[in-house]
């Protein structure tokens, strides 16, 4: 009996020490923290908005129209921009706001590691942006904040790269799920956009965190969804071609939105204003737009709800598409914080409602009412902008519970997403990454190779020689070098060239020229080099293109101080290890 009890205790201890069990337990804590982060961020926005406009609710436009003087509407975003610009310029890494794109990059290239201080600073910047009336979304900042908290836990527990990435996905899932009261959307946003890994070892803890985050949100706000959506029924299957056309229109709107942010960003660089002052200038422009259209301020959920409930006219719907695109592009392009989820849903609701009104006018007996098209448009534009069609479709399904309508959303969202990807080549987040010189295309093996530096595989088994060394010394050093290549350097250890046996030509065996020919006479000057901090994918590409088996590693490409040598066999072994690591995670 005692033996059986001891065996049971040993088995329990063994289970509790298993990393998947540990990850599942930690995922619960991460989910609760992610849900708490969503609540704290929303309350921070409400508090700032209450202080600035005297009203902390999401229905800000109606309050501004009736109770806030024009000068306050115009100047409040500018004042917020001044605060945001100052904080961003003097205290944030890179002197810019941080958001979802940073989470994606850190997940792919840095093993899910993020700085908590940066996360808190980014949350403050975004809360000020939205509280003062900047036209942006609140879900992206929640994702970044939850991911920062999660990374802090991962570092304290000294988790490895794979578990750190999974845990980061848990935080993202909890943040999105709590924001929309939609756990499925949170789960698949984390997997689809951030981690890119659907293995069961990653899927299980992400599900746990999303559920935990949703429960925290429901405990605080109640079981209510982000939008009040009336019931809709598809009147006829002949409507599905119309939903496909709506997908095309939504793609145009989504692409225009992404393009507009880039245009504003480039324009702001040319404006003779200090970088820290650009958000104030952008805020002034947003405030001027809000004098006529207060719907553009903040997250814009009031106008989105009005569109869903068929309360807006065709002219206003079309106008709001234009002004919201402009206001959000100015907000994000001038250097404010905030995300793009809410603006994408806003634009989708407006374009869908406008399309639905026109379709209903043309085919009144076949139309389900323009409210249904509003929902479909929301999914299509948001999916195309975010590059997240799966999670967007699931979010709409969770919000509506209508399978037939979700099929319509599928059609429009897939069409819109494909057109944007084929036309622009990227979603909004991947456009941001491209601006930073980060390329995450390719499979998980490529991402692993990009996340690792040349310094991790370079060797120090190189032999150097001075430019005025005689041929005899070259012969001796070539015999000492096991791979048959030596490096020509000056007195500062700057790389000048390389020498192999075939470079000596006749001088290799003709001793009559030993006193005449020097190392600099036979060396191949300006050889290909790789910097010590370049990623291993670049190193592998260089080896393939230059045809060399051994490449010099330098501290940087300006000084070219020789610090090591990279062998083709080592880089190929690293790639093989990356493939095995990917396959192992896929089997779990």
Instruction: Assign 105 a pLDDT band (cuts: 50, 70, 90).
Output: confident
**pTM for this prediction:** 0.82
* 325/135 Cα distance (integer angstroms): 9
Nearest to 185 by CA among 139, 138, 251, 126: 139
235 φψ region: left (φ > 0), alpha (ψ -120 to 50), beta (else): alpha
* 462/445 Cα distance (integer angstroms): 29
Instruction: Assign 10 a pLDDT band (cuts: 50, 70, 90).
Output: low
192 vs 136, which has greater pLDDT?
Answer: 136
pLDDT at res. 7: 64
For residue 576, report the phi and psi dihedrals to the nearest 5 degrees: -60, -40
Q: Which residues of 62-81 are buried (b: 16+ CB within 10 A; e: fewer)?
A: ebbeeebeeebbbbbbbbbb
- Check pLDDT > 60 for residue 14: no
Averaged over 178-195, what is the pLDDT?
Answer: 88
Instruction: Assign 510 a pLDDT band (cuts: 50, 70, 90).
Output: low
Averaged over 296-301, what is the pLDDT?
Answer: 92
Is it true that domain 237-437 has CATH number 3.40.50.1820?
A: no
HSE at residue 171, side-chain half, CA atoms within 13 A, is 30
* 265/191 Cα distance (integer angstroms): 29
Structure tokens at 518: 């020097």
Q: Where are the alpha helices (DSSP H) in 223-277?
A: 240-270
Per the CB < 8 A criterion, the answer to whether 154 and 167 are in contact is: yes
Q: Which CATH superfamily is domain 447-587 in?
A: CBS-domain (3.10.580.10)
Task: Give the fold, CATH level 3, of 14-221.
Answer: Clc chloride channel (1.10.3080)
Instruction: Assign 196 a pLDDT band (cuts: 50, 70, 90).
Output: confident
* 444/578 Cα distance (integer angstroms): 8
Name the percent of the chain lying above pLDDT 70. 90
Q: How many Cβ atoms from other residues are within 10 Å of residue 329's Cβ? A: 24
- Name 137's bridge partners: 339
C-alpha angle 262-195-44 in degrees, rounded to nearest 5: 65
Instruction: Assign 370 a pLDDT band (cuts: 50, 70, 90).
Output: confident
* 262/581 Cα distance (integer angstroms): 37
Averaged over 367-388, what is the pLDDT?
Answer: 89
Least confident of 46-60, 187-201, 452-466: 187-201
pLDDT at res. 92: 93
Structure tokens at 250: 């939504």
pLDDT in tens, 27-50: 999 999 999 999 999 999 999 999
- Check pLDDT > 70 for residue 526: yes
**DSSP assignment string, 295-313:** GGSTT-HHHHHHHHTT-S-
Question: Which segment, 8-22, 85-99, 462-476, 498-512, is predicted with the most confidence on average?
Answer: 85-99
Instruction: Assign 569 a pLDDT band (cuts: 50, 70, 90).
Output: confident
pLDDT at res. 230: 73
pLDDT at res. 585: 56
pLDDT in tens, 389-401: 999 998 888 877 7
Domain boundaries, the chain: 14-221, 237-437, 447-587
* 406/379 Cα distance (integer angstroms): 9
- Check pLDDT > 60 for residue 587: no
Instruction: Assign 571 a pLDDT band (cuts: 50, 70, 90).
Output: confident
Q: Which residues of 407-429 are buried (b: 16+ CB within 10 A; e: fewer)?
A: bbbbbbbbbbbebbbeebebbbb
For residue 282, report the phi and psi dihedrals to the nearest 5 degrees: -65, -40
pLDDT in tens, 231-260: 776 767 778 889 999 999 999 999 999 999
DSSP assigned state of 190: I
Nearest to 96 by CA among 364, 435, 323: 435
pLDDT at res. 575: 72
Q: How far is CA 131 from the centre of its chain?
A: 23
pLDDT in tens, 169-185: 999 999 999 988 889 89
pLDDT at res. 140: 92
For residue 564, report the phi and psi dihedrals to the nearest 5 degrees: 180, -175
Residue written as token pair 């609760």: 32
Per the CB < 8 A criterion, the answer to whether 304 and 349 are in contact is: yes
Name the percent of the chain lying above pLDDT 90. 49
pLDDT in tens, 128-155: 999 999 999 999 999 999 999 999 988 8
- Check pLDDT > 80 for residue 440: no
Question: What is the length of the chain?
Answer: 588
Per the CB < 8 A criterion, the answer to whether 340 and 322 are in contact is: no
pLDDT at res. 125: 96
* 482/25 Cα distance (integer angstroms): 52
Per the CB < 8 A criterion, the answer to whether 530 and 539 are in contact is: yes
* 94/97 Cα distance (integer angstroms): 8
Averaged over 42-71, what is the pLDDT?
Answer: 91
pLDDT at res. 224: 78
pLDDT at res. 509: 60
pLDDT at res. 19: 67
* 299/145 Cα distance (integer angstroms): 18
- Name 561's bridge partners: 494
pLDDT at res. 410: 93
pLDDT at res. 235: 66
Tell me whether the CATH fold assigned to 237-437 matches the one assigned to 447-587. no
DSSP assigned state of 506: G
Structure tokens at 385: 């902008």
Give the chain's mean pLDDT. 86
- Check pLDDT > 60 for residue 66: yes
* 396/228 Cα distance (integer angstroms): 12
pLDDT at res. 442: 61
For residue 393, report the phi and psi dihedrals to the nearest 5 degrees: -60, -45
Q: How many Cβ atoms from other residues are within 10 Å of residue 535's Cβ? A: 20
* 157/165 Cα distance (integer angstroms): 13
For residue 162, report the phi and psi dihedrals to the nearest 5 degrees: -65, -45
pLDDT at res. 444: 62
DSSP assigned state of 530: E
Q: How many helices (H) and strands (E) does the chain have?
A: 25, 7
């Amino acid at each position: 009996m005692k033996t059986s009890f001891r065996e049971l205790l040993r088995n329990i201890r063994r289970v509790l020490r298993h990393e998947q069990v540990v990850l599942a337990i930690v995922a619960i804590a991460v989910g609760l923290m992610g849900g708490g982060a969503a609540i704290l961020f929303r309350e921070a926005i409400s508090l700032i908005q209450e202080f600035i406009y005297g009203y902390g609710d999401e229905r800000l436009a109606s309050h501004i129209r009736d109770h806030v003087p024009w000068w306050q509407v115009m100047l409040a975003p500018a004042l917020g921009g001044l605060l945001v610009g100052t904080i961003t310029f003097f205290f944030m890494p890179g002197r810019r706001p941080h958001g979802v794109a940073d989470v994606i990059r850190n997940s792919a290239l840095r093993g899910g590691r993020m700085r908590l201080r940066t996360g808190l600073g980014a949350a403050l910047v975004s809360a000020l942006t939205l509280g003062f009336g900047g036209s942006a979304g609140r879900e992206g900042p929640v994702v970044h904040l939850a991911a920062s908290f999660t990374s802090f836990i991962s570092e304290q527990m000294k988790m490895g790269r794979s578990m750190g990435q999974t845990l980061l996905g848990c935080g993202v899932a909890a943040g999105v799920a709590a924001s929309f009261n939609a756990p499925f959307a949170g789960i698949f946003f984390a997997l689809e956009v951030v981690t890119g890994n659907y293995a069961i070892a990653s899927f299980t803890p992400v599900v746990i965190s999303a559920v935990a985050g949703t429960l925290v949100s429901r405990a605080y706000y109640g079981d209510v969804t982000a939008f009040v959506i009336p019931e809709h029924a598809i009147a006829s299957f002949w409507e599905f071609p119309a939903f496909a056309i709506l997908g095309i229109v939504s793609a145009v709107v989504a692409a225009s939105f992404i393009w507009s942010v880039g245009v504003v960003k480039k324009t702001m660089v040319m404006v003779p204003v200090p970088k820290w002052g650009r958000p104030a200038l952008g805020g002034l422009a947003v405030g001027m737009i809000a004098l006529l259209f207060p719907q553009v301020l903040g997250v814009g959920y009031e106008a989105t709800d009005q569109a869903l409930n068929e309360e807006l006219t065709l002219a206003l719907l079309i106008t709001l598409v234009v002004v919201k695109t402009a206001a959000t592009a100015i907000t994000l392009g001038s250097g404010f914080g905030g995300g793009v989820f809410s603006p994408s849903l806003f634009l989708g609701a407006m374009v869908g409602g406008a399309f639905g009104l026109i379709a209903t006018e043309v085919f009144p007996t076949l139309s389900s009412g323009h409210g249904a098209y509003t929902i479909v448009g929301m999914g299509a534009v948001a999916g195309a902008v975010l590059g997240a069609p799966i999670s967007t479709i699931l979010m709409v399904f969770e919000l509506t519970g209508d399978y037939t309508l979700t099929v319509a959303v599928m059609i429009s969202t897939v069409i819109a997403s494909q057109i944007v990807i084929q036309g622009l080549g990227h979603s909004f987040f991947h456009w941001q990454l491209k601006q930073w010189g980060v390329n995450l295309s390719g499979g998980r093996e490529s991402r692993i190779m990009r996340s690792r530096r040349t310094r991790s595989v370079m060797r120090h088994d190189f032999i150097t020689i001075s430019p005025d060394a005689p041929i005899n010394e070259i012969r001796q050093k070539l015999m000492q070098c096991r791979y048959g290549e030596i490096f020509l350097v000056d007195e500062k250890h700057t790389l000048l060239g390389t020498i192999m046996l075939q470079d000596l030509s006749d001088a290799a065996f003709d001793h009559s020229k030993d006193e005449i020919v020097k190392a600099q006479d036979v060396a191949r000057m300006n050889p290909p080099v790789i910097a010590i901090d370049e990623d291993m994918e670049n190193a592998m590409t260089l080896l393939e293109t230059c045809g060399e088996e051994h490449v010099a590693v330098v501290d940087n490409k300006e000084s070219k101080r020789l610090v090591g040598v990279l062998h083709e066999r080592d880089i190929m072994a690293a790639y093989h290890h990356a493939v095995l690591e990917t396959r192992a995670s896929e089997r779990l």
